[in-house]
Structure formats: structure tokens, C-alpha cells
């Protein structure tokens, strides 16, 4: 069995997230998804619109996903959770700012160099990201006010 790991925030679940999960699942037999801890989202991106448990439940409801767990909070090494999941492949989203080579190097240093790190393709849609969707909603709301 080929185990695939995907990671993300998944705030305001949308078609781009589903596409990412479908592409990740196509790489193997079992897909585990790490949903970012609320404190990690606050530190690296923004205040989450939905809390980590709701985001985890929403991701778990996607057909391609076999398991969804909440990631480590800031201060806990991000790779600590990898041996527990034991993936063969880590699938990165097309828009994630993770540096593939840096991840590969960190995995090698931890004796996990056998894990393949790959990037999946994005969805060809102009509303494939949470920030894009929020901006579009605000644009629509503002145009209705005029």
C-alpha cells in the first residue's frame, strides 16, 4: 500500500482543495491529510475563519481523504508527526510556499530520505484559493452597494 500525505490550512473549503486531495490520492492508496493547527495559521497566514476541528471534519468529509489529523502547534518540530503517519509520498499543493528541496533535506537528516516529495498541479480556475474567494465576495458586495 502506498501512503500519501498532504498538508494545508483548508480554511473555507473550496474546489481547489478538492482538486488537491484528488491529485494527492491519485498518487497512492491511502491519503492522510494534516490540517494546520489554528496557532500555526495565525502565525504564518491569518486568523482562521473556521477552527481547526471544523476544518479537519470538513477535510475528512472529502471522498479522496482516508484520514485527517490536526498538525502540531508552533514550537513543536513540524516533522515530528511524519514517522507516525509513515508516508511514502508527500504531496504539496501547487500554491504552497514549501521548498521541496528543503523538505527533502530535512527528511534525509531525520533518516526519512525514502519519502518522495512531489508537487501536484493546480486547478485552472480563478477562484481556487480562499483569499481569492473572499476578495470576490467583497467585490460582489461592494458592487451591490453601488
CATH classification (class only), 3-145: alpha beta
* pTM, full prediction: 0.85
* pLDDT band at 101; cut points 50, 70, 90: confident
42-100: per-residue pLDDT in tens? Answer: 998 888 999 999 999 999 999 999 999 999 999 888 888 999 999 999 999 887 777 78
What's the pLDDT band for 16 if we cut at 50, 70, 90? confident
- Of the CA atoms within 13 Å of residue 86, those in its CB half-sphere come to 3
Burial class (CB in 10 A: 0-12, 13-18, 19+), 93: buried
Amino acid at each position: 500500500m502506498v501512503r500519501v500525505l498532504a498538508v494545508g490550512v483548508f480554511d473555507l473549503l473550496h474546489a481547489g482543495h478538492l482538486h488537491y486531495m484528488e491529485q494527492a490520492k491519485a498518487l497512492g492508496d491511502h491519503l492522510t491529510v494534516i490540517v494546520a493547527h489554528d496557532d500555526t495559521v495565525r502565525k504564518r497566514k491569518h486568523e482562521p475563519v473556521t477552527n481547526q476541528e471544523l476544518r479537519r471534519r470538513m477535510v475528512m468529509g472529502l471522498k479522496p481523504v482516508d484520514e485527517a489529523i490536526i498538525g502540531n502547534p508552533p514550537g513543536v518540530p513540524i516533522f515530528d508527526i511524519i514517522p507516525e503517519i509513515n508516508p511514502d509520498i508527500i504531496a504539496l499543493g501547487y500554491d504552497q510556499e514549501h521548498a521541496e528541496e528543503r523538505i527533502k533535506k530535512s527528511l534525509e537528516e531525520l533518516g526519512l530520505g525514502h519519502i518522495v516529495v512531489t508537487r501536484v498541479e493546480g486547478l485552472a480556475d480563478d477562484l481556487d484559493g480562499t483569499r481569492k474567494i473572499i476578495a470576490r465576495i467583497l467585490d460582489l458586495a461592494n458592487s451591490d452597494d453601488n
